[in-house]
Amino acid sequence: MNTGLTQIINGNVITPHEILFNTAVLIRNGSIEEICRDNEVREGAQIIDARGQYVSPGFIDIHVHGGAGHDFMDGEKDGFLEIARLHARHGTTAMVPTSLTSGKDQLIALLKTYGEAEKDNTDGAAFLGLHLEGPYFAMNQRGAQDPRYIRDPDPAEYEEILKYAHLIARWSAAPERAGAMEFGRRLREKGVLAAMAHTDAVYEQVLEAIASGYTLSTHLYSGMSGVSRKNAFRYAGVIESSLLLDEIDVEIIADGVHLPAPLLKLIYKVKGPEKIALITDAMRGAGMPEGESILGHKDDGLKVIIEDAVAKLPDRSSFAGSVATADRLVRTMLRTADVPLLEAIKMMSQTPARIMGQQHKKGAIRKGMDADIVLFDNDIQVSLTMVGGKVVYRTAR
């Protein structure tokens, strides 16, 4: 962490409520000390000249699987660190590394690797805890998740995994599976965020899930039920429930491929920026050329193909993760969903910070907050990324 005094000058500073033009930000000991409207250079400060660029709160990606040719499921510390560096180059200052469905022993090994990597992660996006995506999912909503590992929540299994609860930030599951409500209540007791994902639940089950601790809808529209009919009667699914119920936050893969413009606009109109987190859901192909790749562990993961700026199953029947970075998400919301910059940034910073319980120190440029800051131009091209007051990425000027 930077222990000196740094001042970013000549910036258009994005605050929670407005953009302050020709303004400076003073940083001391890794935290924001002051927003300086006079833009006057402070004595002894190391100067970063924004040159009229936007000075934004760092992007927070709460659902990411990999990048730069690495996947967290590889279980390699160096891979963790390289993923963090890759996404930092695109404005991400904090992330929640995410798993895929797998066996108990592999998940525990992954948690141990995460613990090691967290200690050495000094040059990339900070880690906020691990996201276990699965394995307690609905089989016919599995998408690209490996069916070999999909199963009901088993207390004997998840209690052993929850011995590492201090490393787990969130866990996604299908609430309609046998034992999933008890599982959600147990996550709440352990301080782990419970999310609904890869699920066939209906509205009544979603209501029960909320009461059991599930408060987040994982990658809305992807791998979840919509309206269904049983014995001629219609039932609202997780999609409609997530849009309707204020108790539920949603995350969306705003890469411009997973969700077309009408759905992005609908979600924004119904939920608003205070309830939406933009996520990359990026797999190892992020930052890599198009072509063949692997989703999950490099040795036994699922073969996929990257084309049209997205990962697909080889038969092209389904998407298999995104290759987006956070800057692309912001651009998509601006250009495709017609969202104002201030609110697009909120969905990439302040809202995900609140969802993850980090709002007291991350997600906004405000006195006392962590100095997690990104500089970018009108095209959201990132020129500098700062994590805890330390510059971890900077373009040559």
What is the distance, to the nearest Å, from the Cα of residue 318 to the centroid of all Cα atoms in its chain? 21
Interior angle at CA 177, CA 175 and CA 182, nearest 5: 65
User: For the CA atoms of 287, 291, 297, 301, what is the dihedral angle to 10 degrees?
Assistant: 150
CA distances from 155 to 27, 91, 110, 237 (A): 46, 39, 19, 27
Which residue(s) pair with 193 in the sheet?
170
Q: Choose, from 74, 146, 281, 327, the residue flagged as catalytic.
A: 281
What's the helix, strand, coil split of the chain in %, to 5? 30, 30, 40
What residue ranges define each of the domains in the chain, with the CATH number in brackets?
5-56+364-394 (2.30.40.10), 58-356 (3.20.20.140)
Q: Do residues 201 and 238 make contact, with C-beta atoms less than 8 angstroms apart?
A: yes
Helical pair 180-189 and 203-211, crossing angle rounded to 10 deg = 30
Can you count the helices (H) and strands (E) in the chain? 10, 24
Which neighbouring-strand residues pair with 31? 28, 370
In this predicted structure, what is the pLDDT of residue 1?
43
Say what the pLDDT of residue 282 is.
97
pTM above 0.85, yes or no: yes
Q: Where are the alpha helices (DSSP H) in the chain?
A: 77-88, 104-120, 155-161, 180-189, 203-211, 238-244, 261-271, 326-335, 341-348, 350-355
Query: Closest Cα partner for 56 from 278, 286, 362?
Result: 362
**Residue 159: what pLDDT?**
98
Cis peptide before 273 (omega within 30 of 0): no
pLDDT of residue 2: 44
Q: Is 133 annotated as a binding residue?
A: yes
Q: Can you give the pLDDT at residue 142?
A: 87
- Does 146 qualify as catalytic in the annotation? no
User: 175, 185 in Cβ contact below 8 A?
Assistant: no
Residue ranges of the chain with per-residue pLDDT less than 50: 1-3
What is the reported pLDDT for 396?
Answer: 72
How far apart are alpha carbons 238 and 181 in whole angstroms?
15
What was the pLDDT predicted at 330? 98
